[in-house]
Structures are given as structure tokens and as C-alpha cells.
Structure 1
Amino acid sequence: GKAIHIPLNAPEFSVDWNQVKSAITDKTRMVIVNTPHNPTGAIWSKQDWLNLIELIQDKNIIVLSDEVYEHLIFDGEKHYSALSFPELRERSFVVGSFGKTFHVTGWKTGYCIATPELMKVFRQIYQFANFCGVTPV
């Protein structure tokens, strides 16, 4: 695969949806999302997710949503997960982190949520890509 990086717009660190639309081709197989974003703290709004849904709804594209900072939200903002949207549930991997949530980041302990069909594929790859758990686990 070839990664196509799309920079966020400073100073709000927002997504340029026209640029995303231009980057999606018939070869696109996955969109990777990071919200809340590290290191900026930017959070995708409900409208951001709806924009993504509109762009990929008729395409065979999977979403990998890095949501490891989902519980570290400030200023009364709301975190929307890819799993919050029925249109994305069947085609998304959502990655979370116990390490980030419970402030033991060095433990590097997290999880992935997806449909049984996607998890079957995930497990085929994961068995060759994981590393050992931390001593307490």
C-alpha cells in the first residue's frame, strides 16, 4: 500500500474535505483517522464524520480510527467515535488504549473493536505484528 498524507489546516487543525475528496481514488482501500488528534488535541465534530461518510459510502473503503485519547477531552467538547455512526460500524476498526486512559502509557496496552468479519482478518495479521504484554498483565 501507499500512504497519502493529508495535512490538517492550522491553527484549528481542521480537515480540508476537498483535499480528502481529491485524494480518494479507485485504489483507496483505507482511511486512517486520529481523533482526538495527537499532538494537537483537535477533535472531529459530528459534521467531520458525516463528511467522511459522504465521501466513502459508495466505495469499498475501510476506516481505521485511532481513538486512543477518547477519554482525554477538555473544554466541554464531545468525542464522536467511528462506532457512533451506523454507516461506519460495519467497515471500521477502532483502536483504543488502556495505557492512555489510565495514564500508564509505557505499558502500551490497548484494544481494537470491529465486526467479527473484520476481526477475523485483523487476527490473521496481528499474530505476526504484536509484541509481548507488560509484566503486570
Structure 2
Amino acid sequence: MESNNLAGITLHHLEQKMKDEKFPEKLIEEILLEFNQIINQQGEKGFQKWLTNLHYQVPDPFSSELKAANIYSNYRNWIEDEIVKLERETELTWEEQTKDIESFNIKARKAQLVLRHRISEIVLDLLN
């Protein structure tokens, strides 16, 4: 991965892409707050490398079952709409797409599926 590609991975660009993808405004704020903490810990370059290496994994700040379930509760309608879209896009049920986290409750699984998929798509888009 070339560092000039990473230059596009900024909080501003991430925010704009999330708005374009119709993420709920409060969720965008929550995600950016968590990402800003990572930047404070790892620096801008560390954050960019960390984010681009997720590869459809849930970002650490959202990996706890409780946090993911809370996100589901707060943004249920949006997550359910995204689940339907992901099932159409991948031609897989949400259960099949979350086999790796099937020990989690349903709310957490759905929230993590949407977050990992949509954030990864945004990152890939920004890299191109």
C-alpha cells in the first residue's frame, strides 16, 4: 500500500463518505470520536494504516458485544435497512455473513456486520 494512497484517509473524507452513504448523523459523530482517539494514540499515519488493514473486520472500538448491541438499539432502522441491502449485494443471509461472530447476540451481530462492511467499503473507495 503506497503512502500517497493513504493520504485520502482523513477524518474529513471519512465523514463526507459516511454522509454520502446516509449514515445517521449521530452515528457518524460516534465513529469519528472513536477514530479521533485512535489518531491521538497512533498518530495520523498509524491510524491510516490501521484503518486500511481492517479488511472487513469490525474496528476495535466497536468490537465489544455490548457496544455493538447499543449501536443496534440506537440505529435499529438504519441497520435493518443496511442488512437488507447487504443481503441483496452479497446474496448471503446476514446469518451467513456473521458466522465468525455467531456467539454474539443478534443485535450485536447485525450492527457489527453493517459497520465492518460499510466502513471497509468507504476505506476502499477512498484508496482508489
TM > 0.5 fold call:
no
RCO comparison, higher one (Cα < 8 Å, 6+): 2
Greater fraction of residues in helix: 2
Greater fraction of residues in strand: 1
Tell me the TM-score normalised to structure 1 length.
Answer: 0.25
Bigger radius of gyration:
1
Tell me the TM-score normalised to structure 2 length.
Answer: 0.26
